[in-house]
Structure 1
Amino acid sequence: MITPTSDRGTKQVHDGQDFVEFTRTFRAPAEDVWAAVTDPGRLARWIGSWRGDPADGEVWFRMLFEGDEIPEEHMAIHQCDAPHRLRVTSTSPSEEGPQVWDFRIDLVEANGVTTLTFAQSVPDAQLAEGVGPGWQYYLDRLMLAETGADPADIDFDDYYPALKEHYRELFA
């Protein structure tokens, strides 16, 4: 098994909201990394897939590695400047009512190396303890998928609960 990266998320503020933010670096052009995070077939290797027409400003996204009971999430696309910037808001059903999350993806390429910055809004420390380890896990899966390794070689149990205190403290 592969162990979690040490590239943990940080707390950042965007547009007055708290976000957990991660960076990952790829030896690939921005267009290739963009495809890894937007093309349904490539997304399906490490996190999930979507259906719909992005030109309509929305798609439906489903996580593929969290069991069959996970409902689709509505993704409203606010900004899409391929291959550099994506801003979306996800609305998913929950027992407490709809959960709404803002996501930011930025790609910067220099000399054939692309840095991906991924961020998700986190309204409180309680939610951060799950969101942070979850995205660290999925971004590590992305890294494996893009290097030709098997994303199944990592185990979520190595991320949660082991990393929940780090993320709760960030947002305390």
Structure 2
Amino acid sequence: MTADRSITGALDGADLVLTRELPASRSDVWSRLAESDGLATWFGTFTGDPASGTVQVTGTAEPGEAEAAEYTIHECTPEEALEVSSAFGEGAWRLRVELEDAPGSDGGDSTRLVFRHIDVPAAMLGDVGAGWEWYLDRLTAAVTGAQLPGLEVWESDYMPFAARYAALQG
């Protein structure tokens, strides 16, 4: 990761959409999103029964003492789509991930992940965009077996994205 890399996201109305091409099957990528052990490789863990419609997610990638947050599951179509929401302070985040075979993947050995942060407040766009670049790079590293970007590169490699994402508002 270098600070001069282009951002991978774009605005679709008020939604921030980022994509990644991952050299793994949809099944493998899905396990990193929908199974607690897989999610733990790049983001955090969850407890609870997803069939109940809610789980408690504890982020483990950021500094400080992690606290669990309740996530409501709005859609869970295995190996295709996951949509969740969670309250943070006085706001709420709604997130959607869609998986599809990447173009030219010949049978699913490469997956296109489309990540959508729905209705991002304009004032938060820069920080949210930079943050999701970091997390999706962590997911990519987990899938490929590369070293996950840690907080030691946050300022140098990811904070430059904040201004680029803020500028998307036009």
For normalisation by structure 1, the TM-score amounts to: 0.85
Superposed, which structure 2 residues align to 1:9-158 within 5 Å? 9-13=9-13, 18-92=14-88, 94=89, 97=90, 99-109=91-101, 110-111=105-106, 112-152=109-149, 155-158=153-156
- Provide Cα deviations, 1:37-78, integer angstroms capped at 9, x if missing partner: 222112112111111100000111111121233432211001
AA matched with 1:156: W
Structure 1, 152-161 or 58-67: larger mean CA deviation: 152-161
CA distance in 1, matches of 2:58, 2:155: 21
CA contact 1:125–1:167 (8 Å) conserved in 2: no
SS in structure 1 at match of 2:73: strand
CA distance in 1, matches of 2:145, 2:50: 28
CA distance in 1, matches of 2:156, 2:59: 19
- Provide Cα deviations, 1:90-131, integer angstroms capped at 9, x if missing partner: 113x3xx3x201101000015222100011124322111110
SS in structure 2 at match of 1:151: coil
Structure 1, 3-12 or 133-142: larger mean CA deviation: 3-12
CA contact 1:125–1:169 (8 Å) conserved in 2: no
CA drift at 1:84: 0.2
CA distance in 2, matches of 1:116, 1:63: 20
Percent of aligned pairs sharing the same letter: 31
